[in-house]
Amino acid sequence: MAGSTSVTGMENFGAFQDPIYAEGLLAKHSRYPFTFEDLERRAGEVLDHEIFDYIRGGAGDETTQSRNVAALRRYGFVPRMLRDRTARDLSTTFLGRELPAPIFLCPVGANGMAYPDGDLETARAAAALGIAAMYSTLSDAPLEQIADARGDSFAMFQLYPTRDDRLTDNLVRRADAAGFDALAITLDTGTLGWRPRDLTNAYIPFLRGRCLANYTSDPRFLELAGAENPAPLHAGIVWSSLFSKPTFGWEDVARIRRLTDLPIVLKGICHPDDARRAAAEGVDAVACSNHGGRQANGGLPAIGHLPDVIAASGLPVVFDSGIRDGVDVLRVLGLGATLAGIGRPYVYGLALGGADGVAHVVRSLLAEADLTMAADCFARIADLQVVEAR
């Protein structure tokens, strides 16, 4: 996985830095950056302008996106000294699956544009590292190919409910048949948000037929398109008429619950009343998230909702929105999340080197998390003591 195995059998993620320093003695340096700022800068140098803006952009003036990041930094640790930190245990359990690391790769609809076969490269990285991932409905590879590429790693299919229930149900059945481990339903896309970067570029990749493989491989979509092999622009127009269902509600969740035995994760839960309702409706986990500030501007930072969502739901809670480094991962875990979701950092790594770039970013985040725990004498996730600065 990301690091060597210690004498206790736990992953020594911090050991990732050792060969980097050793190669420095031979005047060799990593081809990949180690900070989010450098990853973003380098990705901007290799990606087309429209694609880069699509990946890095948020809704409105991007205040919510920025506040997601800043709010995480308000939380810090209280070190506990003179305790054995020889080995740190970052393993966790989610939906009955033991995982070596408490992170997951977030679903990103632009992976197929960030790098050739980007969706498959992401899955291959998850397979090599043994980490969890959510895979977007919007991909350049059909979900069946992604399920094969992810190997034995824990895989969640992220569903965008469509206006056509038959198409939505087809996607659910396909994810079940392909062997995904869970279904994550994104709730905050009843419509696309107001995104000035994309408006300036007059650019939505899906309207141009990109990342629509799950649709163009589906018989119901082809029926609605009126063609067995729709041209990209035609596929994009049909997609735009179907993509979002503004009326998607609890009754739709109940319908999907009856349709599949897959564990269901509701993604986009921020209010405790919604978290309680989710538990009452029989879902298995929730994802506390505001879509990284990409869908709606003006919202409070997502991290501020996490403790109340955990308390109200009584379910496993994963979190994404604003995580940039390994210390952010620990902040989220210290506040009670089961898994921390990584988005833009790994996509920038993908843009720079495919699966190898994704692996570099994940290993860097886990190494920083592991070494920070060692410095503060935390041996387990449960030992983390996180407080908010006043």
Which of the residues are catalytic?
291
CA–chain centroid gap for 232, Å, is 27
- CA–CA gap between residue 58 and residue 64 (Å, rounded): 8
- CA–CA gap between residue 177 and residue 280 (Å, rounded): 27
- The token pair at 251 is 């009754």
Residue 217: phi and psi, rounded to 5, are -100, 5
- Decide: 228 and 250 in contact? Cβ < 8 Å: no
- CA–CA gap between residue 296 and residue 273 (Å, rounded): 20
Q: How far is CA 274 from CA 143, 266, 301, 339, in A?
A: 29, 10, 17, 20
Handedness of CA 215, 192, 307, 335 (dihedral sign): positive
First to last CA, the chain: 38
Q: How far is CA 118 from CA 66, 87, 141, 275, 348, in A?
A: 26, 34, 9, 33, 11
Q: What is the DSSP string of 354-374?
A: HHHHHHHHHHHHHHHHHHHHH
For residue 163, with 0-12 CB atoms within 10 Å meaning exposed, 13-18 middle and 19 or more buried, which class applies? middle
Strands 103-105 and 132-136: parallel
Strands 11-12 and 4-5: antiparallel
Q: Which residues contact 306 (CB under 8 A, 6 or more apart)?
A: 288, 317, 319, 332, 335, 336, 337
- CA–CA gap between residue 319 and residue 53 (Å, rounded): 24
